[in-house]
Amino acid sequence: MSRVLGAALHGVDGVPIEVEVRLSSQLPRVDIVGLPEAAVRESGARVRSAIGAVGQPFPDRRITVNLAPAGIRKSGAGLDLPIAIGILAAGGAIEPEALTGLGLVGELALDGRLRPVRGALPLVLALKEAGCQRIIAATGNEAELALAPGQPVLIASDLVQVLAALIAGHELPRAELATPADMPASNGPDLATVRGQQGPKRALEIAAAGGHGLLLRGAPGSGKTLLARVLPSLLPPLSRAEALETTRIWSAAGSLAPQTPFVRARPFRAPHHSATRAGLLGGGTPPRPGEVSLAHNGVLFLDELPEFERGALEALRQILEDGEIVLARAATRFSFPARFQWIAAANPCLCVALLPRSSELCSGGRGSVGGRGGS
């Protein structure tokens, strides 16, 4: 029997998972228990192929993998690596002492390569809080993992490197940033790009100074969107703690791109008015952060405000007060941070939005659109 620590996502937070592996003298099979999702149940096939690809014998016995605590549903493929190491340790290929204080995060390919996983930063932070002195993750998550405070995270590109470190004591490289985290980042256009518009520009300055919401109303083409995009440049730069918190949310949502592996500028989110309530507020299976959480520590811009679903706009009222959104499910609750600067834009009426050049609009019933009178 062997034990090794991994982690699973619960909303935007990581939860330490103890992977227990036991070999028994029964018909060969891999059983994974402890409320695993489909991706976790399928890890048995990936682990078997990866272990064989690196030249290690796969135990020809009944393998029972327990993911504790059993009351939390586990999702994602980040438990592949701890399951593989647990199986090899239970079979005698790795000494139990090598697993002391060790945390593992990574998805395995069939040939033994380590793939990056969604939410690697909150997973590693959870392992650090659980007391792991050494944490090994995939090279593809290097940039975001370098932001994690405390002991540096070790990275590996395949299972061969992990086994060399655990069996032969080889040194693994540490996660490092190619771009310094404190390098100033662009927050988008500034007030110098806006000509005229002295009244709206003054309103932007007041809103930025006091953290107020702002509604821009005017005809199409009058510059509402440009004015909204100027707001992040008026806000102070992200502190390191805010950058870490924002990157953790984006990592859990799977929104970090290879060219932007961490968030250095205040986010500016402008969802389309056709966005669903789940896309705006968060949800899905497993639940992921929505646009309001991706705008945390930044700006949320709702263009064409009257076109959004009424239920989503009503829900924004409580989010703006509390600074978070709580999604209640049958078995658990998920809390997503959502403290942002809110700005919206709208046209004077539906007629102007559809036919802005018509001179017959907004004149009672003469300029009706779709059978409705102008307003």
pLDDT of 31 reads 95
CATH superfamily placement of domain 191-354: P-loop containing nucleotide triphosphate hydrolases (3.40.50.300)
For 138, the enclosing helix (H) or strand (E) is: strand 134-138
pLDDT of 337 reads 94
Q: What are the residue boundaries of the structural domains of the chain, listed by start?
A: 2-167, 191-354
Residue with structure tokens 């799977």?
A: 254
Q: Residue 164: which of 48, 56, 3 has the closest Cα?
A: 56
pTM of the model: 0.84
Residue with structure tokens 């009351």?
A: 71
From first to last of its 375 residues, the chain has per-residue pLDDT tens of 999 999 999 989 999 999 999 999 889 999 999 999 998 999 999 999 999 999 999 999 999 999 999 888 898 899 999 999 999 999 999 998 999 999 999 999 999 999 999 999 999 999 999 999 999 999 999 988 988 888 899 999 999 999 999 999 999 999 987 665 555 566 678 887 888 888 889 999 999 999 999 999 988 888 899 999 999 999 998 888 898 999 999 999 988 876 677 888 899 999 999 998 889 998 887 888 999 999 999 999 999 999 998 888 888 888 999 999 988 877 788 899 999 999 999 988 766 545 554 444 454 443 333 333 333
SS3 letters across 51-113: HHHCCCCCCCCEEEEEEECCCCCECCCCCHHHHHHHHHHHCCCCCHHHHCCEEECCEECCCCE
pLDDT of 178 reads 66
CATH architecture of 2-167: 2-Layer Sandwich (3.30)
* Distances in whole angstroms, Cα of residue 110 to Cα of each of 41, 47, 298: 15, 8, 40
Spatial separation of the C-alpha atoms in residues 66 and 83, rounded to whole Å: 10
